[in-house]
Amino acid sequence: MAASGDPGRQWQEEVAAVVVVGSCMTDLVSLTSRLPKTGETIHGHKFFIGFGGKGANQCVQAARLGAKTSMVCKVGKDSFGNDYIENLKQNDISTEFAYQTQDAATGTASIIVNTEVKTLFNPAPAVADLDPRFYTLSDVFCCNETEAEILTGLKVHSLADATRAALLLKGKGCHVVIITLGAEGCVMLSKTEPMPKHIPTEKVKAVDTTGAGDSFVGALAFYLAYYPNLPLEEMLKRSNSIAAVSVQSAGTQSSYPYKKDLPLDLF
């Protein structure tokens, strides 16, 4: 504490160096496998109440780094408000200007966190001793012939070879396997399509195939994110079509098409 008789020092120690004027919100967080449709009731697997609000979040972070802080806010005179004031105190934040009112309820945010995130893994450049968790943890495992060869130890030069490699990758724990085959399109297998299936692509006059693989993977990521209900086979047909456009002109990114230049039936 400041020595008595030294009011300047006492003032310096008590004044907040960071004063935040902003919101204190109580987050009501539900974890679910997906978001409900309008009017639908679904089961969640976890629920918790958290302290949030942009202003308070910033104040808590500054306080935890050692800043002397004060929060200027107003919450309701209700249980969420009481808990929030207590939370500020727990974080060593001054509540001198944190007010409570009878006239309004403490702000709440209903947050639904879905676990539906899909992961698409492209093992490029491939290593033979890839961490085995990559096979089991990725939803979609997509590689080219060279990568399939390195990962499986099999020669992959034909559709028949790729079929064998895809089955071997499935054996390593992959849920969905896609092996791209250049002008031959790709081969896929999945839980619902356990035998490898060839998805051919249209014959085009290839000018420069550099970056075709990345065009394909980028297109597939687009369909997984924006058209999650499209059958996988349809996503692959469309990704083939987009990558086929990219091989018909020179360069890598310079050959990647824009939505506006593609047929409407791809969207």
Strand ranges, E, within the chain: 18-21, 25-32, 44-52, 69-76, 93-94, 98-101, 108-114, 120-121, 140-144, 176-180, 186-189, 197-199
Q: Is 158 in the site for ligand NAG (CB under 6 A)?
A: no
Nearest to 24 by CA among 106, 142, 100, 127: 106
Cα–Cα distance for residue pair 58/71, rounded to 1 Å: 10
Residue 259 sits at the vertex; the CA angle it makes with 211 and 238, to the nearest 5 degrees, is 65
Residues near ligand ATP (CB under 6 A) are 144, 180-183, 185-186, 201, 204, 206, 209-214, 216, 240, 243-244, 247
Amino acid (one-letter) located at 15:
V
Name the minimum Å distance from CB 186 to ligand ATP: 4
Name the minimum Å distance from CB 201 to ligand ATP: 5
Name the minimum Å distance from CB 244 to ligand ATP: 4
Phi (first) and psi of residue 152, to 5 degrees: -105, -20
Residues with a known catalytic role = 214
Site string for ligand NAG, 189-218 (x = CB under 6 A): ------------------------x-----
The count of other CB atoms within 10 Å of the CB of residue 248 is 14
Q: Which does 204 bind (CB under 5 to 8 A by kind): ligand ATP, ligand NAG, none?
A: ligand ATP
Q: Which does 181 bind (CB under 5 to 8 A by kind): ligand ATP, ligand NAG, none?
A: ligand ATP
- If the CB atoms of residues 106 and 144 are measured against ligand ATP, the closer one turns out to be 144
SS3 state at 51: strand
Site string for ligand NAG, 111-140 (x = CB under 6 A): -------------xxx--------------
Q: Which does 125 bind (CB under 5 to 8 A by kind): ligand NAG, ligand ATP, none?
A: ligand NAG
Q: Is 252 in the site for ligand NAG (CB under 6 A)?
A: no
Name the minimum Å distance from CB 49 to ligand ATP: 47
SS3 state at 42: coil
Q: CB neighbours of 210 closer than 8 A, spacing ≥ 6?
A: 251, 252
- Nearest residue to ligand NAG on Cβ basis: 124
Helix axes 212-226, 232-246, angle to 10 degrees: 140
Written as six digits, the tokens of 81 are 């408000």
Name the minimum Å distance from CB 160 to ligand NAG: 16
Q: Is 145 in the site for ligand NAG (CB under 6 A)?
A: yes
Chain residues in the site for ligand NAG (CB under 6 A)? 124-126, 144-147, 213
